[in-house]
């Protein structure tokens, strides 16, 4: 009884702390928007947002507005929301209002950056969607493994291996066979991770690191030995999946070119997010997999084969990472280069944690990461007096804030990283 009472007191203290911290964040953003973004512009400065991506036929007039007036209005909204959060708090809606204030801050930054000039807002959002694809798929790979209790640090190596294999096979056959070959390569790497982690009970972080090092060394060696040489250039010409314009929807101004004019990877990613969300939280298979990750002993007692379930999950995670790897060559660049995944597997893991091990949350976090990745390039073009490296690290700062529990606690599976020992009768 006393223990429960103590827990209630602790939760109330945490809730009060989050209320004040979040209210302080709202107020700080209001001051930043008004004094740093708003006051730094001349009274007659205008911001122009181009609402049509380059090359799109679905045109929309540019959005031109007075920078200072808009930023003052947005700062006032943040100030009111911050004052209310400090005095009474939004309760369960606090995170929703945090998302709203964050969007206001991002819009204010873009307005300030484009003040006196123009920025292609539609193009920026389109690139954001594209750059979020491999991060989302990497995060989904992590979810499949870690929801079953297996830490998957090897996403980067799985993606790199699949990218290499898909390039070779697609160059010799066609794009679809290359994609399937890459997915199979990811499955093999997932199976290896399962053997090391489940059968031999190797420390899962070490096992994943070994796979990453092995994949990096092997693909770099084979790339230098063969496909980078003139005699074998035909092995590095896989081609790329074409753009797909969704009839009618792709012609909608602004929204159409951003969401409905991409190659097959973007559409399949959205479908996979929806399918995995349903499978994890609304099917018997998902319940069993999550139970294995939370309390494997109890799951075993109920007749669930813990070892088999973990093997299936880690192989599915490998297949998802393999699919992500094929994106880099068959959906993005059309060729293989050494280390072309560039740490996207690790960023996918960060998106998974930020998204609280939830497919939809992971997709949202990947959108945020992709946005700042795209913004870092645009900011350098606009000569914004902020280093692009700082913009690039912003999502990681946000992730650390989330992990610190200031906007709600993340919940990793309880048995994550713990090998299962089946008790003998």
Q: What is the pLDDT along the chain (425 residues), one digit of tens a residue?
A: 455 555 445 455 566 787 888 899 899 999 999 999 888 778 788 999 988 887 666 678 899 999 999 999 999 999 999 999 999 888 888 878 888 998 999 899 889 988 888 888 998 999 999 999 999 999 999 999 999 999 999 999 999 999 999 999 999 999 999 999 999 999 999 999 999 999 999 999 999 999 999 999 999 999 998 888 878 889 999 999 999 989 888 888 888 889 998 999 999 999 999 999 999 999 999 999 999 999 999 999 999 999 999 999 999 999 999 999 999 999 998 999 999 998 899 999 989 988 889 999 999 989 988 888 888 777 766 667 777 677 767 777 766 766 665 555 567 898 888 888 876 55
pLDDT value at position 171? 95
Give me 343's structure tokens.
Answer: 């740490």
Q: Say if CB 318 and CB 191 are below 8 A apart.
A: yes
Q: Say if CB 386 and CB 118 are below 8 A apart.
A: no
The total of other beta-carbon atoms located within 10 Å of residue 120's CB is 19
Strand partners, 47: 65, 115
Give me 60's structure tokens.
Answer: 């929309």
Instruction: Label each residue of 354-418 as H, E or C.
Output: HCCCCHHHHHHHHHHHHHHHHHHHHHHHCCCCCCHHHHHHHHHHHHHHHHCCCCCCCCCCCCCCC
Going 373 to 374 to 380 to 384, the CA torsion angle's sign is negative
Cα–Cα distance measured from residue 359 to residue 275, given in angstroms and rounded to the nearest whole number:
9
CB-count exposure of residue 252 (10 Å: 0-12, 13-18, 19+): middle
Cα–Cα distance measured from residue 155 to residue 137, given in angstroms and rounded to the nearest whole number:
10
Give me 330's structure tokens.
Answer: 């068959």
pLDDT value at position 67? 92
CB-based contacts of 224: which residues, under 8 Å, 6+ apart?
Answer: 338
Strands 63-66 and 46-50, how do they pair? antiparallel
Q: Single out the residue of 192, 207, 197 nearest to residue 161, CA to CA.
A: 192
End-to-end, the C-alpha distance of the chain in Å comes to 36
Task: Write the DSSP assignment of 43-96 as a string of letters.
Answer: TT-EEEEE-S-TT-SS----EEEEHHHHHHHHHHHHHHHHHHHHHT--GGGHHH
Cα–Cα distance measured from residue 50 to residue 147, given in angstroms and rounded to the nearest whole number:
42
pLDDT value at position 10? 45
């Amino acid at each position: 009884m006393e223990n429960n009472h103590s827990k209630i007191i602790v939760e109330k203290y945490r809730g009060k702390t989050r209320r004040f911290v979040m209210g302080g964040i709202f107020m700080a953003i209001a001051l930043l928007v008004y004094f740093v973004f708003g006051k730094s512009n001349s009274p007659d400065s205008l911001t122009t947002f181009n609402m049509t991506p380059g090359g799109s036929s679905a045109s929309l007039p540019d959005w031109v507005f007075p920078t200072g007036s808009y930023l003052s209005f947005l700062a006032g909204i943040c100030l009111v929301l911050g004052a209310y959060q400090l005095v009474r708090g939004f309760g369960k809606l606090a995170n929703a209002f945090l998302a709203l204030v964050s969007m206001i801050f991002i819009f204010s930054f873009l307005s300030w950056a484009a003040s006196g000039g123009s920025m292609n807002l539609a193009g920026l959002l389109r690139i954001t969607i594209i750059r979020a694809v491999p991060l989302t798929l990497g995060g989904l790979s992590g979810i499949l493994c870690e929801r079953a209790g297996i830490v998957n640090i090897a996403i980067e190596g799985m993606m790199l291996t699949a990218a290499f294999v898909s390039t070779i096979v697609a160059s010799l056959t066609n794009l679809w066979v290359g994609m399937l070959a890459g997915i199979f390569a990811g499955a093999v790497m997932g199976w290896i991770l399962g053997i090391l982690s489940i059968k031999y009970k190797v420390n899962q972080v070490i096992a994943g690191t070994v796979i990453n090092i092995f994949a990096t060394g092997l693909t770099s060696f084979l790339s230098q030995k063969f496909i980078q040489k003139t005699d074998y250039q035909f092995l590095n010409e896989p081609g790329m999946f074409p753009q797909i314009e969704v009839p009618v929807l792709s012609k909608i101004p602004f929204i159409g070119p951003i969401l409905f004019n991409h190659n097959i990877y973007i559409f399949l990613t959205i479908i996979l997010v929806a399918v995995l969300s349903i499978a994890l939280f609304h099917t018997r298979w998902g319940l069993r997999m999550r139970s294995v990750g939370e309390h494997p002993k109890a799951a075993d007692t109920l007749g669930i084969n813990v070892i088999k379930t973990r093997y299936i999950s880690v192989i599915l995670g490998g297949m998802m990472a393999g699919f992500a790897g094929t994106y880099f060559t068959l959906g993005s660049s059309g060729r293989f280069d050494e280390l072309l995944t560039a740490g996207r597997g690790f960023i996918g893991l960060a998106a998974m944690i930020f998204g609280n091990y939830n497919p939809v949350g992971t997709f949202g976090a990947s959108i945020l990461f992709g946005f700042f990745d795209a913004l870092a390039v645009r900011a350098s073009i606009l000569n914004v007096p902020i280093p692009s490296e700082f913009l690039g690290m912003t999502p990681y700062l946000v992730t650390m804030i989330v992990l610190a529990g200031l906007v709600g606690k993340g919940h990793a599976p309880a048995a994550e990283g713990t090998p299962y020992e089946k008790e003998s009768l």
